[in-house]
Amino acid sequence: MAGADGDDSLYPIAVLIDELRNEDVQLRLNSIKKLSTIALALGVERTRTELLPFLTDTIYDEDEVLLALAEQLGNFTMLVGGPEYVHCLLPPLESLATVEETVVRDKAVESLRKISQEHSPVDLEVHFEPLVKRLASGDWFTSRTSACGLFSVCYPRVSSTVKAEIRQHFRTLCSDDTPMVRRAAASKLGEFAKVLELDYVKSDIISLFTALASDEQDSVRLLAVEACVSIATLLPQEDLETLVMPTLRQAAEDKSWRVRYMVADKFSELQKAVGPEITKNDLVPAFQNLLKDCEAEVRAAAANKVKEFCENLPEDNREQIIMTHILPCVKELVSDTNQHVKSALASVIMGLSTILGKDNTIEHLLPLFLAQLKDECPEVRLNIISNLDCVNEVIGIRQLSQSLLPAIVELAEDAKWRVRLAIIEYMPLLAGQLGVEFFDEKLNTLCMAWLIDHVYAIREAATCNLMKLVEKFGAEWAQNTIVPKVLGMANDPNYLHRMTTLFCINVIVHCCGYPYREITTKQMLPVVLKMSNDQVANVRFNVAKSLQKIGPVLDSNALQTEVKPVLEKLASDTDMDVKYFAQEAISVLALA
Amino acid sequence: MRLSALAAQVLDGFSRKSVRKAKQKRSQSSSQFRSQGKPIELTPLPLLKDVPAPEQPELFLKKLQQCCTVFDFMDTLSDLKMKEYKRSTLNELVDYVTVSRGYLTEQAYPEVVKMVSHNIFRTLPPSDSNEFDPEEDEPTLEASWPHLQLVYEFFIRFLESQEFQPSIAKKYIDQKFVLQLLELFDSEDPRERDYLKTVLHRIYGKFLGLRAFIRKQINNIFLRFVYETEHFNGVAELLEILGSIINGFALPLKAEHKQFLVKVLIPLHTVRSLSLFHAQLAYCIVQFLEKDPTLTEPVIRGLLKFWPKTCSQKEVMFLGELEEILDVIEPTQFVKIQEPLFKQISRCVSSPHFQVAERALYYWNNEYIMSLIEENSSVILPIMFASLYRISKEHWNPAIVALVYNVLKAFMEMNSTLFDELTATYKSDRQREKKKEKEREELWKKLEDLELKRGLRSDGIIPT
């Protein structure tokens, strides 16, 4: 490839380096982001001998620039000449892996992990592993922290002597006197365990795990909980009791709520990792305690896991465990003093009905659902309503509808518009579950009221909701129940409501389309055309936009005789925007 | 974990603050009470002053042991009598260690430390507010304060007592004790942090063997705060203690201390909640510079590196700190950093945010800074000129324009030849800049063409 190694006359390295040194940070950042272009201009040889040394030695820059650099270098293998030369990238990444800013360091480690895969086993031992060792024994905590993330990528591909060294380094970092380093090591413990031979998992990892899990800092202990999941997955069932469970039991009763929170948060994973026997004997009581914890944070995290935990219980005595051990705690949580706990529970409690079946649901769960539906906190009610489909499958919606309706009406009129928005989003789902009759009777009025809400987002969502309802109930229903009401709003004194008419027409036409050309031409088009005389420009240009959407549905006669004159009139409107949209409609509908 | 804030955001992004305002003083208790147990019974003991002196040490120990019992203050109705009894006992103990002589037997030390540990060391409960904002939020107060305050009071009197012997106490007030003490600085209750500050100060003063350890742990707390959590309530208090520690450093400064300055104190400026501890931080920095002026350059370069880009309030704080530094800077140090420094100041002066521009322009009211600028006007004027000239024509705020005129006038008086020269070349300089800009663009365009060509070639579209 002649000339592929850059062109000296065009791109002297000095010019490029000048770019990387520009006084303006933004320009420096842009240059770094285009580092691959620079490397390409220089060619692989000069990239290796000139650009990389420059980057390694002279870059002292803002973290934002360093972050971009760290990221770029991860994709640089081909630009330095392929895997054979990939180790040239190690020096700049090594110094980036020691900087203070976590984001930069993490990115450098990520890039190092990436290029480690491109090293041959020999290069890995000659170049990569020594770098890891240097980082692991660095003076300042940052380099040691970075080292923690690199052990697992080189371990599987090096000789057994080097492996022993790597294990030793990891051990040292697990008892580092800086808590930042211990945290980094603890967070990588699970990952490292996965690449180790089982014997070493038992001999090395377990003792490290036990030590980290009883660290003096709770921030370290809670990370050990995460590692617990991976470690338990690796060990054979018979070793779990002696090697893992004592530590896990201790974590579930840790004096720091952060650690207990972590246990609650990871509960499903832990449950899967330790298997059914231990779950029955140990995790069930532990879970009960977490559901009754004195800190609301912990209770909420545990409440979130109720469904998953119950689902994964061994089937043979699942029902019995739930009924005698879990349900009593759940009942208490329904009237918890903390609304976050209640709303966490509300988001999963409905899922229990599929597990417990119809009879239990009606007898034990229904009272809880109803209690939560009447909860003072809107979020709790909302969470219940959003999961109605699970119960529907088990007992049918009619059972619930009596108590459901007042709650929905109340949420529909909630003072917080985001609550109203959320309930609108569930309307199509409810409509589908309740059927058209029930809907018309009870909910239709609500849906129409949202169209004239004073918050635009609600009106917009209500319009979109109409579209989904029409999709569900069909065009005939639309013609009978929706269209008259929507068209009535065209004469509303408030121009925002008049515009809503147009928006609704847009979506109805979109759904009903060709098969119902009749409705469009006979009922909706006249209204739209009449609105072109509106005194508010916003209404007029929305008329133009609507016509553009309705046009394709109409026959050519209506287009030519009715739409075209109106659009032409709008195209000569005094308002700039009206003109613009009218012209756009004319050209889209090819009426010019 | 910030459930309350999260939920509020989900519901309504605008209501959060008002919702929080609605609740007045909140109080919370530590998370140590896992379940309400049975009522607590303590057997009342006679007052210390009512027993003969030889029996007092023994009774003192007994009272200390009784005070290890901790009550649940979230339950305002339980154990009222016993709570009152413990309160009066603690009061008595406070008085006793203040006035009595000969009470501090060797056996008393472990009992005192045990009593203090039982009462003050506890896991702090989760914080209610997402980001604690002192202007917006009421701090959550510790419910057990009626007892806790007296325990702190007692412990401080104990540490300050004339009979107190660090050589005995160091067996009990050890690294582990200090570590737990430091964790308490995260307490949301400002009253507690204030007591902790005094306690830590006394311990630092009396236990030489713990000094390095304390500094290192504070280091770790700060690093975690900056790079991991951005949350720790006691930063200002710890910095206040450090201010006086730095004051006492011997010269020449150890490498460890310099590292602390550059790698910990300077990065503390990047934290979002800087306003909560900026005064104390700036004090520490200036203390360092007064000790060793050669640190000026790394400090100023560090501040420039972390200069806020989007937060004008922080920018104003930085400018304030920089002025404090310039107030004590040595002229030889000033020369070393004047170029990068004034490039930044010139950017601040032309900030569209008038408070930033104003704060920077106030430098010209500082006589010492003015004298430094005057001495180096040949370097500084060219850096500042373009910005000043431009703002004098186009800043939206008339007050800023007026200030800029004053600054320009001052420069004119300092160095009229250079000033005239710069005025004359202003236009051609701008044109040159534009030309350079164009050249840059062309360079990149060429490079991109090349990349495209290479790309095609490697795709095999253009044969090589």
Q: Does B456 touch chain A (CB under 8 A)?
A: no
**Any A CB within 8 A of B463 CB:** no
Min Cα separation B394/chain A (Å): 22
Helix/strand/coil (H, E, C) string of B133-146? Answer: CCCCCCCCEECCHH
Confidence band for A391, pLDDT divided at 50, 70 and 90: confident
- Chain B interface disruption, residue of A416, A420, A421, A425, most B CBs within 10 A: A416
Cα separation, A420 vs A432, whole angstroms = 19
Report the gap between the CA of A473 and the closest CA in chain B (Å). 30
Q: Has residue B5 got a pLDDT over 50?
A: no
- pLDDT value of residue B440: 82
Structure tokens at A74: 């991860």
Structure tokens at B44: 């009342």
The whole-angstrom separation of Cα B1 and Cα A301 is 9
Choose between B24 and A497: higher pLDDT: A497
**Residue B240 to residues A217, B135, B218, B272: CA-CA distances in angstroms?**
24, 21, 12, 19
pLDDT for the residue B461: 42
Torsion-angle region of A541 (φ positive above 0: left; ψ -120 to 50: alpha; else: beta) = alpha
pLDDT mean over A129-143: 92
Cβ under 8 Å to B: A residues 299-358: 300, 339-340, 343
Q: Where are the alpha helices (DSSP H) in B248-330?
A: 255-260, 278-291, 296-305, 312-328
The partner residue sitting opposite B224, judged by closest CB among A10, A180, A416, is A180
Q: What is the mean pLDDT of residues A430-452?
A: 82
Measured between beta carbons, the chain B residues lying within 8 angstroms of A300 are 3
Contact A216 B454 (CB under 8 A): no
Q: CA–CA separation, A349 vs A446, rounded Å?
A: 27
Neighbours of A244 (CB within 10 A): 23
Q: Do A418 and B13 touch (CB under 8 A)?
A: yes
Residue to test with chain A: of B130, B440, B442, B464, most A Cβ within 10 A: B440
**Which pLDDT tens digit goes with each residue over A3-12?**
444 444 456 6
| Whole-number percent of chain A with pLDDT over 70 | 94
pLDDT at B41: 76
Task: State whether residue A11 sits within 8 Å of chain B by CB.
Answer: yes
- 8 Å CB contact of B451 and A418: no
The continuous run of DSSP H or E covering B142 comes out as: strand B141-142
pLDDT top residue among A520 and A401: A520
Cis peptide upstream of residue B252 (ω within 30 degrees of 0): yes
Nearest CB among A36, A295, A418 relative to B125 is that of A295
- Residues 258-287 of chain A with CB under 8 A from chain B are 261
Q: With 90 as the cut, is the pLDDT of residue A385 above it?
A: no
| Torsion, Cα of A489, A492, A496, A499 (10° steps) | 40
**Selection from B259, B281, B286 nearest residue B270 by Cα:** B281
Residue A12's pLDDT is what?
Answer: 62
Least trusted range by pLDDT, from A130-139, A141-150, B16-25, B129-138: B16-25
pLDDT of residue A397: 65
Stretch A67-90: mean pLDDT, rounded? 90
Three-state DSSP state, B27: strand
Taking an 8 Å cut-off on Cβ atoms, the answer to whether A141 and B223 are in contact is: yes
Helix (H/G/I), strand (E/B), else coil: B157: helix
- Measured between CB atoms, which of B7, B13, B176 is closest to A340? B7
Quick one: pLDDT at residue B153?
Answer: 94
Contact call for A180 and B220, based on CB within 8 A: yes
**Residue B14 above 70 pLDDT?**
no
Mean pLDDT, to the nearest integer, of B90-111?
86
Contact A470, A512 (CB under 8 A): yes
Strand (E) or helix (H) holding B360: helix B354-361
Q: How far is A300 from chain B (nearest CA, A)?
A: 9
A454 touches chain B (CB under 8 A): no
Pick from B23-37, B260-274, B377-391: least confident: B23-37
Amino acid letter for position B415: N
Report how far residue B31's alpha carbon sits from residue B192's, in angstroms, rounded to the nearest whole number: 16
In order of A339, A408, B11, B26, B136, the CA distances from B22 in angstroms are 16, 27, 17, 11, 11
What tens digit of pLDDT does each residue of A148-191 get?
999 999 999 999 999 999 999 999 999 998 999 999 999 999 99
- Exposed / middle / buried, residue A112 (Cβ in 10 Å: 0-12, 13-18, 19+): buried
* Spatial CA neighbour of A230 closest among A214, A255, A252, A208: A208
Would you state the structure tokens that stand for residue A235, as one six-digit string?
């060990």
Cα angle vertex B15, ends B13, B20, to 5°?
A: 120
More confident residue, A576 or B21: A576
Q: Could you report the per-residue pLDDT of B178-204, keeping only the tens digit for each?
A: 999 999 999 989 999 999 999 999 999
Indicate whether A513 pLDDT > 70.
no
φ and ψ at A411, to 5 degrees? -65, -35
Judged by CB atoms within 8 Å, which residues 109-148 of A form the interface with B? 140-141
Q: What is the chain B residue with the closest CA to A103?
A: B227
Q: CA nearest A38 in B: which residue?
A: B447
Contact yes or no for B145/B189 (Cβ under 8 A): yes
Enumerate the residues of chain B whose CB falls inside 8 A of the CB of residue A181: none
Q: Tell whether B99 lies on the interface with A, counting CB pairs under 8 A.
A: no
Q: What is the residue type of A47? A: T
